[in-house]
Amino acid sequence: MLLAETGHAKINLALHVRSRGADGYHALETLFAFAEDGDRLTLAEGEGLSLDLSGPFAGPLAGDDNLVLRAARAFLDRFGLPAGAAFGLDKRLPVASGIGGGSADAAAALRLLCRRHDIHPTAPELMAIAASLGADVPACLVSRTMRGEGRGDALVPIDGEGLSGMALLLVNPGPPLATGPVFRAWDGRDRGVLARGDALETALAGRNDLEPPARMLLPAIGAVLERLAGQAGTRLVRMSGSGATCFALFEDEAARDAADRDIARAEPGWWRLATRLR
């Protein structure tokens, strides 16, 4: 039987960088949300462990170090299970783009293996595996609105009902932007806490501290944000994660779709995804 999961695009509605530790890691406060759409991962019976790649962004992902395979190996080792998994990844999200594509795919692989082997997806062992794969993977495993602290992997449940179903447009100017250089270019200034309370109000009052260094490294981000901010019906315009993908939340899907059409005409080379928050 073929099983399928979506690797939901991760959105940092706000991202406050509070400090840089001696170990090089950063203390964060972030508000995670997830799109309804993203990459598509399938799992079938197979010999050993394999991954077949397709889709517009599959090219850079070939090799045994792919996060899907790393997640599968960690899962099978932890639970003492034999190999025999053939994954198929339709890579629809841009690589190195601030929306957690690799982390979302690893999380989708874990959810698929849980379904196959009848393991509950909230098992403590599973969250430990997720954390070992990357700071965003635990949040992507749940793929629901929540607050992230520490490195982003200390998760705090919040009520995201007010955000669910909101019209969302993602836009990326094209070039990949690695996370490391963006964090290294952060100026080190603590600009204050991320508020608690209503999820939308928290997002609106927040900021993304990585946006200035990302724009310095890739000025096209500024053009994307300017284009989104000029659209009618937006509630929030911001960059996600370390970039370069930017997003806008809209009052309704009609406004989102009008913005999507406008950007497609003006900047046909930019990647876009019209979707909704989960």
Q: Indicate if 52 belongs to the active site.
A: no
Residue tagged active-site, from 10, 37, 153, 260: 10
| 99 assigned ligand-binding residue | yes
Q: Indicate if 39 belongs to the active site.
A: no
Residue tagged active-site, from 136, 153, 209, 260: 136
Give the phi and the psi of residue 40 in degrees, each rounded to 5. Answer: -120, 125
Give me the helix-helix angle, 253-266 and 220-229, nearest 10°. 140
| 162 assigned ligand-binding residue | no
| 46 assigned ligand-binding residue | no
CA–CA distance, 130 with 196 (Å, rounded to integer): 25
CA–CA distance, 100 with 193 (Å, rounded to integer): 23
Three-class SS state of 183: helix
The burial of 79, by beta-carbon neighbours within 10 Å (0-12 exposed, 13-18 middle, 19 or more buried), is given as middle
| 206 assigned ligand-binding residue | no
| 264 assigned ligand-binding residue | no
| 98 assigned ligand-binding residue | yes
| 97 assigned ligand-binding residue | yes
| 180 assigned ligand-binding residue | no
| 137 assigned ligand-binding residue | no
In angstroms, the Cα distances linking 38 to 80, 89, 102, 147, 217 are 30, 11, 11, 21, 26
- Binding site listing: 94-104
Query: Which residues are catalytically annotated?
Result: 10, 136
- Binding site listing for ATP: 94-104
